[in-house]
Structure 1
Amino acid sequence: MANLNSIKSIGWKGLFFLIILGLTAPVLAIDERDLCSDPEKVFIFAEHLYEIQDYLNAIREYRRMIFLAPCHPLSKKAKLKIGFAYKKDEKWDEAIASFQKVADEYLGQEEGKTASFELGETVFLQRDYDKAIKFYRAFLKSYPTDEFVPEARFKLAWAYLYNKDYLVARGELEQIGPSTDYSITAKGLSQDIGQISDLPQRSPRLAGILSAIVPGSGQIYAGKVGNGVVALIINGLFIAAAIQAFDNDNDIWGGIISLIEIGWYGGNIFGGIASAHQYNRRIRDNYIEKLREKYKMEPTARNPQGEKVFGLAVITFRF
């Protein structure tokens, strides 16, 4: 009687729902357990999240896969893809830490090689060329005969070029063999780097001397005509004011104005020297920018599955 009252209280529709739930719950439980116990399915889901650029959740799924099956063959790839996900998400420190861990753990293996190379790539994107040099050097040391050594040397040369270390940059390019995909490009870039010494220059010493003789002339010589004219006018006015003060026997004002003029005069000389350095730097930077446009490097191509996670950069020429 109590059971009948219970059925009446929930209604026949509610009873039907409970029966259906009871029949399907075991099946649902089996599917859920199957998903949790199958690391390959977790990895496939992580790859899907990676492809739709949901990098944070992709990282979580890669880590879940590693936790479920740390000895699974896909575990190494999952660890590597965590680094790529951080890199794609521009979380540079996390990407570097992930790649470094894989590079150390799988030294001499495909995943370790890729991670070692990606360390250089990641900091290169950050324009931290000192670190890029360090990581590319480490890659070359660990994998000296690898097929991607020419690419590493080519990018190492660019890192040195951006650091204004032109001789070393040319030295790296000259070590790229003649039978590689980078041989023609490396030869052309090396020749172009050699022309940096022939670029028009302004002598900082001469600029300082000119400014000492005629205030503002050093800046005009270095291409800053407006600054030079202003410096000439200001110094001329102070000199004229000081002379007039002394001519009027106003030695105190003449002395004060002279002291102020000494400061302006010294600043004018320093400005001439600095302008020459800025001129030279601007000419070099513009030339390097033209080289970057001429030897355009696109991001390294990788397939969606990440099976070959780095390859030769795409290089085009613009003349």
Structure 2
Amino acid sequence: MKRLVRIAFLLVALGFGAWAVAGQWEAVRAGFARLSWPALALSVVAVVAALGGGMMTWRALLADLGSPLPLRPAAKVFFVGQLGKYIPGSLWPVVAQMEMGRELGVPRPRSAAAFFLTMPVQLGSGLLVSAVTLLAALPGSAAPYAWAFLLVPVLAVALEPRVVNAVIGFGLRRLGREPLERPLTRRGMLTALGWALLGWTAYGLHLAAILYELGPSGPSVAVFSVGAFALSWCLGIMTFVVPAGAGVREVAMVAVLAPVLDRGSAITAALCSRIVIVLGDLVCAGAAGLAARRTEDPSALATSEKTCD
């Protein structure tokens, strides 16, 4: 039964992902025609690395909360669960991760806590990275988004472990749940932030590989790309009702890229970036699922469940 539910979840997620791509297929095809195969390959590799950084951010938080997972099972839970972001509604990824994590002995409240902490960690680090890199590469490009950067100090306070632990504890009490057995530590939070920063760097390289093919060149383009992608992602993630920030991120990216690209080229870059990320999600989910299946040991999982429970 669980296998059928998981297959249905994957099919629905893939269906919505394909629908999002099909709606803009002509524009996407025209955009990819302007890019070389080496640039596309580099962009895909960079996206896979960036998605890996996101997985390691989540894994670091989960481990700090008391459920360290081996790399391959953790990758399977994270990447397969993340396909749920293509389904309308914001809770499908966390529901999938909670159920898959439970099979590895991770309590559901702990999975939910790690999931909901990952987003503000990525949001805070993304806004910080975008402010620094945009100011360094092209100072005037950051001015229209100064209002968003005001969230950085707010998120810095909100991500203080004592504040996080108090909020999680309050939420669990309101839900009638037991408190987390192990509170979040500053070391765990800093580790997660470190992985998130590496992820933003890789995302920037993925966008830079596309931009170099469309006009601008020079080392400042790579720096600018990091900030442009991070800012557009942060603006997109604030719109929780849209699957995976679809549309919002692209509109934001076109606006952020305006200082270095004409509108047509900016739209091309945004659409190509979206498709490369969809491809990266599929590659990571498929690879993680195969790797975990090959190394899955029922006795080891049973031991893990006893330890984590």
- Report the TM-score, using the length of structure 2 for normalisation: 0.24
Larger relative CO (CA 8 A, sep 6+): 1 or 2?
2
- Report the TM-score, using the length of structure 1 for normalisation: 0.24
The structure in which a higher percent of residues are helix is 2
User: Which of 1 and 2 has greater Rg?
Assistant: 1
